Amino acid sequence: MSRKNDTNESKNKHRRIGRIILLILLILSVIAFYTIPSFRQKLTQILMLFRSASVESIIGFIRSYGPYAAAISFGLMVFQSVAAPLPAFLITFANAAIFGWWQGAILSWSSAMAGAALCFIIARIAGRDAVERLTSVSAINSVDKYFERYGRNTILICRLLPFVSFDFVSYAAGLTSMGIVPFLIATGIGQLPATLVYSYVGGMLTGGTRLFVTGLLILFALSGFVVLIKRIYNEKHDQAEGGPENEENDEHLL
């Protein structure tokens, strides 16, 4: 019992330290925004870039940094994960157009993983109240219902859908008892097919054609979503018919 209390105390201590670090970083960011004109200008430019939802604008912005373009793209993906929840496939398209489809896929996949991990860690450290302020109460509650019903399958389901916020799912996962390693494995597997497809298409198409293919990919993702939901439903239905013994042996994913 004493060892368990020591473990809980150590976790709480690490969480308090983490919250202090997050608070310091937030304060420094606010100070920099109001005291450093170049920082404020660049941050405003990035936010306007995201609001435009224009792949061409994102391509131009990333290319303007020349040899540092890959690092800027990586930073944009992480930033949009934490502070500007928008469809990540916009940056994935841009990466494919700039770096080629397979190099762009590697960059997009790895940076999205980093962003997801950061959201997860922030949620684990900051707690539910802070996450709800950073996102929204309704969004987190909505994702919570999926986690309660489908467990870790929620991550795979949501990664299939480009219009479901990648970031809200990552934040919500951080509020559960799921470990970060299973989370990253599920995230990596779940987002890899879409990243490869978007990168391959993004490396070949531009403009209106890209938007058309994006629509087709959304329909494809919806089809995959329906199939996966049906499979999960069938599994749950089979377990329910198995009686109390199967229910007692059922593994809880969260």
Q: Is the pLDDT of residue 246 over 50?
A: no
Give the tens place of pLDDT for each residue, 156-208. Answer: 777 766 556 778 889 988 988 888 998 999 899 888 887 887 787 777 655 55
Label each residue of 113-177 as H, E or C: HHHHHHHHHHHHHHCHHHHHHHCCHHHHHHHHHHHHHHCCHHHHHHHCCCCCCHHHHHHHHHCCC
Query: Phi, psi at residue 53, to the nearest 5°?
Result: 55, 35
**Cα gap 168→135, rounded to integer Å:** 7
Hey, what are 103's tokens?
């190099």
Q: Is the pLDDT of residue 40 over 80?
A: yes
Residues with Cβ within 8 Å of residue 196, at least 6 apart in sequence: 105
- Domains in the chain: boundaries: 36-249
Weakest-pLDDT range from 113-122, 181-190, 197-206, 229-238: 229-238
Q: For tokens 């792949």, name the residue.
A: 55
**Cα gap 111→103, rounded to integer Å:** 12
